[in-house]
Amino acid sequence: MDKMKVVGGKALRGTVRTSGAKNSALKLLFATLLAEGKHTFHNVPKLMDVDSSATLLESLGAIVTRKGHTVTVEVKAPGSFEANYDLVRKMRASILCLGPLLTKYGQAQVSLPGGCAIGSRPINLHLDGMKAMGADIELRNGYVHASAKRLKGTNILFEFATVGGTENIMMAATLADGVTTIENAAKEPEIVDLANYLVKMGAKIEGAGTSIIKITGVDKLKPAEHTVIPDRIEAGTLIIAAAIAGGDVTVADCVPEHLEALLAKLREAGYGIETAATSVRVRSTGGAKCVDVTTAPHPGFPTDLQAQFMALMCVSEGVSLITETVFENRFMHVTELQRLGADINPKSRVAVVRGKPGGLEGAPVMATDLRASASLVLAALASRGTTTVSRIYHLDRGYEQLELKLASLGANIERIKSDGSDDSELA
Ligand code: EPZ
């Protein structure tokens, strides 16, 4: 397995571009199942999770072609309606094919995704929503077996503003009979991007990006063309990289409004932040201080930036309380950051970080999930000496060439290709 080798201590300077949003691209790809014909997407990041989504669509009969960052999906009536275990276990977002298949073809069999490194991550809210729309849902042999003649519009109130649940129900409702209202809907920018594409396909959707989304079902949708929004989590990771390493960096091709919660915390910590229409400039003059952060659904502080922000707090002045409210087990990076010398005391969902400016030292560490991997790379930028981060296949799921982007800003970082000798780690 590949590793990342980072020699810390280099300030970052220059401009770096943001790629398309992973968490938008995946849902857009699954939305194609709602209409046969050729769908075209631009600005699709080159990532393992995008490849896994393409494989799933291909297993359902679609032809997926990529040229650079443009992906076309030629959708045909599937021969089977099954998303199998091997595909779903690799990528939980595969559950997002359930709503489209069920509403378009009246049936779907999708493997239950199971838990993952950051929490148990149930899908009960997706399933309850579809049941409320008249679907028959049974769980058998590890699979969700769903069927319905035609889904019926109804009122759905989520007890938690679930991102995937909102997306699955919104897609299912596009072809349902009547009006579906989702209350306490998630408001993430990726939901707005998905709704925008569905509207281009002919769907009737109002309120995406607010907590009440109203979808009026139509009889048929058609394929369309769309450009994926910039990845706010990648942009945020690059911004935190600039903050932790020091220097003067402009992160281009992003949407600063999507990053407000992060930028507010960085300003509070003492960083110079300037925003323009599609870019954010971060300047670090040293002496940044610890601030408290509590994750929350958008527009709150994103859980997907919690690990990276914790790395920054590890080298800032003072004490920071980091509270994770979205996932029950998203502190797996703590023990690895401790290997670099960080002073973190996690208790349940709150971690107390005592900052040690200049106090981290390079060490071998191991990535446990996507954002944890990113936090280790960022911490390594601020550590004395060499850090090797192993299991970076997690990083490749969600960051397009992170090492090349950081190296272009002056970081001393390189990918060490596996020679196969350490693949026992797979166990
Ligand atoms: C999406 O996951 C993202 N994934 C996650 O990004 C992100 O962390 C998360 O939203 C929150 O922002 C994709 O978009 C592919 P949720 P999702 O449904 O949809 C509980 C990354 O690093 N819940 O909003 O799975 C759940 O257990 C990833 O890119 C239920 O209890 O998130 C969790 O605690 C990781 N029942 C909370 O809600 C349900 O039916 C939030 O989950 C659904 C969710």
Q: How far apart are the CA of 171 and the centre of ligand 1, in A?
A: 17
Q: How far apart are the CA of 118 and the centre of ligand 1, in A?
A: 10
Instruction: Specify whether the CB–CB gap between 96 and 72 falls below 8 A.
Output: no
Pocket test for ligand 1, best of 26, 118, 121, 144 (most atoms within 8 A of CB): 121
Ligand 1, residue 328: give the atom nearest the CA: 34
The protein residue with its alpha carbon nearest to ligand 1, atom 42, reads: 162
Pocket test for ligand 1, best of 295, 326, 400 (most atoms within 8 A of CB): 326
The protein residue with its alpha carbon nearest to ligand 1, atom 9, reads: 163
The protein residue with its alpha carbon nearest to ligand 1, atom 32, reads: 163
CA distances from 425 to 337, 366, 390 (A): 19, 10, 9
Q: How far apart are the CA of 399 and the centre of ligand 1, in A?
A: 18
H/E segment holding residue 337: helix 333-339
CA-based nearest residue to 74, from 25, 39, 27, 30 = 39
Q: Is 254 a catalytic residue?
A: no
User: Dihedral angle at the C-alpha atoms of 238, 419, 7, 264, nearest 10 degrees?
Assistant: 20
Q: How far apart are the CA of 400 and the centre of ligand 1, in A?
A: 21
Pocket test for ligand 1, best of 163, 169, 188 (most atoms within 8 A of CB): 163
The protein residue with its alpha carbon nearest to ligand 1, atom 10, reads: 163
179-183 vs 155-157, strand pairing mode: parallel
Ligand 1, residue 121: give the atom nearest the CA: 27
pLDDT by residue for the chain (427 residues), tens only, comes to 899 999 999 999 999 999 999 999 999 999 999 999 999 999 999 999 999 999 999 999 999 999 999 999 999 999 899 999 998 988 999 999 999 999 999 999 999 986 677 777 889 999 999 999 999 999 999 999 999 999 999 999 999 999 999 999 999 999 999 999 999 999 999 999 999 999 999 999 999 999 999 999 999 999 999 999 999 999 999 999 999 999 999 999 999 999 999 999 999 999 999 999 999 999 987 789 999 999 999 999 999 999 999 999 999 999 999 999 999 889 999 999 999 999 999 999 999 999 999 999 999 999 889 999 999 999 999 999 999 999 999 999 999 999 999 999 999 999 999 877 665 443 3
pLDDT of residue 379: 98
Ligand 1, residue 371: give the atom nearest the CA: 22
Active-site option among 116, 254, 290, 314: 116
Ligand 1, residue 167: give the atom nearest the CA: 19
The protein residue with its alpha carbon nearest to ligand 1, atom 5, reads: 304
Q: How far apart are the CA of 302 and the centre of ligand 1, in A?
A: 11
Pocket test for ligand 1, best of 124, 162, 402 (most atoms within 8 A of CB): 162
pLDDT of residue 427: 33
Pocket of ligand 1 (CB under 6 A): 23, 26, 93, 119, 121-126, 160, 162-165, 186, 303-304, 326-327, 370-371, 398
Ligand 1, residue 162: give the atom nearest the CA: 24
Q: What is the DSSP string of 52-119?
A: HHHHHHHHTT-EEEEETTEEEEEE---S--EE-HHHHHH-GGGGGGHHHHHHHHSEEEEE----BTTB
Ligand 1, residue 127: give the atom nearest the CA: 40
* SS3 assignment, position 275: strand
Question: Distance from first CA to last CA of the chain, Å, rounded?
Answer: 12
Burial 262-275 (b: 16+ CB within 10 A, else e): bbebbeebbbebee
Q: How far apart are the CA of 292 and the centre of ligand 1, in A?
A: 22
* SS3 assignment, position 410: coil
pLDDT of residue 329: 86
